[in-house]
Amino acid sequence: MTIRPIPAALTALALLAGGLALRSAGADTARTLPEASDPTPLSAIAGRDSVIFAGGCFWGVEAVFERVKGVLEATSGYAGGHTANPTYYEVGSGATGHAEAVKVVYDPSVVSYDQLLRIFFSVVHDPTQRNRQGPDVGTEYRSAVYTASAAQLTATRDYIAQLTAAKAFSRPIVTEVDGWKTFWVAEDYHQGYYDLHPNQPYILINDKPKVAALQQEFPGLYVKK
C-alpha cells in the first residue's frame, strides 16, 4: 500500500530511483495496441454513457481521460468493494475491498467505448500487474472495468480476448471485468489532483508520462486542458 501525498522530505531524485525500480519490476507495457476487431461505430446522436475504470492511482487515470475528446466528466472515487462511503485511508488499508477508480462519462457520438478501452489498456496502466501499479501496491490498485451495459461488458471481454490471442503483452491480462458497481466519489482534494499539483514528484514520475503517451499515441483524441 502507498499512502499519498508523498512526504516533502523525499527528494525527487530518491523518488525517481524508487519509483522506476518498482515500476520496472515485472512491468509489462504495450506502446501501441490494435483497434477492436469489431469496433462499435460512433452514435448518430449525442448522448451520455458511463463506465468505471480502475488502473492504479486515480490521479493519473483521471488526468488521462480528462484529456480525451468526447469525455464529459472524469471523477475520482472508489468502486468494487463492500463498504459504504469509504474514505481514502480506509480504502488504502485494503479492508473495504474497493479499488481506486474513475467514473468516465462520455458522449458516444464523439468517442466510442472501444476507443476508451484501447486508451485504458494502452496508456493508462499495465493490465498484467495484479494488485499494483508502478510504486503502488495493494488490492486498491487493481486493474478493473465496471461496465454500465451488457454491450460494454461483451466489448470489454472480447477486446481482452483479442489482445490475449494477439499476444499483445508478454504476460496474462489480469483485469477484473464486471457489471456496474456502486461508485463512491473520492474526497474533494483528489479531484483534479494532476492539474493542481503538476510539479509534485509522484505526478512528474508516474502520471505525466501517461498524459504524454496519450498525446503521442492518440493525437486525434487528445484534448489539451
How many CB atoms neighbour CB 25 within 10 A?
A: 10
Report pLDDT for 77. Answer: 98
Give dist(CA 165, CA 159) in Å, integer. 10
Report pLDDT for 55. Answer: 98
28 is a catalytic site residue: no
pTM: 0.90
Report pLDDT for 188. Answer: 98
Report pLDDT for 123. Answer: 96
CATH architecture of structural domain 12-217: 2-Layer Sandwich (3.30)
Report pLDDT for 30. Answer: 53
Q: Are 184 and 85 in contact (CB under 8 A)?
A: yes
Intervals of the chain under pLDDT 50: 1, 3, 5-26
Cα separations in angstroms, 174 against 104, 157, 218? 21, 12, 24
Report pLDDT for 119. Answer: 97
pLDDT digit string (tens) for 208-219? 999 999 999 999
**Choosing from 33, 36, 51, 57, which is the catalytic residue?**
57
